[in-house]
Amino acid sequence: MPAVTAPAHDAEQSRRIRSFVLRQGRFSPAQQRAFEQAWPRFGIDYTGNLRDYDALFGRSVPKILEIGFGNGEALLYSSQRDPARDHIGIEVHAPGVGRLLNALVAANAGNVRVYRHDAFEVMGNEIGDGLLDEIRIYFPDPWHKKRHHKRRLVNPGFAALLARKLAPGGRLHLATDWQDYAEQMWDVLDATPGLANIAGLRGHVPRPDWRPQTHFETRGQQLGHGVWDLLYGQVALQSGD
């Protein structure tokens, strides 16, 4: 079971501008018990070494990764409706991880495992290139103030990492309710070798069935706010690219 404290970072990672700020939040007794009782079953302890997920799940099937799963609503929803694929979640905030652990116990989920760690480190060190059938990033922190845009998760370096981890024909799905972040995502992803917008240049798609609509999303739409679902496919690079 991981300690419910900030994830450890080495000197190199501490110099990197992170896309998150750890907030303690309200950590309930039930969530603490979830870490104590459910982590051995559903948790993945970060080691910094390449991991064999087929051995971890006990089968060899396509794998979906959700980065920043929050309270785990979308991850649980997808895992229950897509039992033929295994689901991996990454989240740094302990209360959300604890809530999902409790939900996984209640659902007796067998195709979900979760990290409580920095996604950049997990992606870079534990997930092999070409491993993932799909990567999902739903409503990442928009860091809406211009001086904070450098903290946004979707940047050229991270996009290149995402593209490397997708299997041939794999899919990258992002959602945001901030138009200027959608614009930045288009700028970054359209310039990333190995990715192509399935909806066409600077296009977006209606909310897919595999992404549940959140309460906050519904409320925002009632107020006239937009939501942008961006869907990119992995494409083979030509020799020399």
Question: Which position has the token pair 């979640």?
Answer: 89
* Paired strand residues for 234: 195
Does residue 102 sit in helix, strand or coil?
A: helix
* Token reading at 129: 């290139």
Q: Which of the following is catalytic: 141, 177, 190, 229?
A: 141
Concerning whether 141 is annotated as a catalytic residue, the answer is yes
CB 107 within 8 A of CB 76: yes
Q: Is the dihedral angle over the CA atoms 173, 177, 183, 184 positive or is it negative?
A: negative
Question: Which position has the token pair 């740094």?
Answer: 92
* Token reading at 65: 């990764």
Query: What interhelical angle do 73-81 and 94-107 show, nearest 10?
Result: 30
The neighbour count for residue 43, using CB atoms within 10 Å, is 19
Question: Any idea which residues carry the catalytic annotation?
Answer: 141
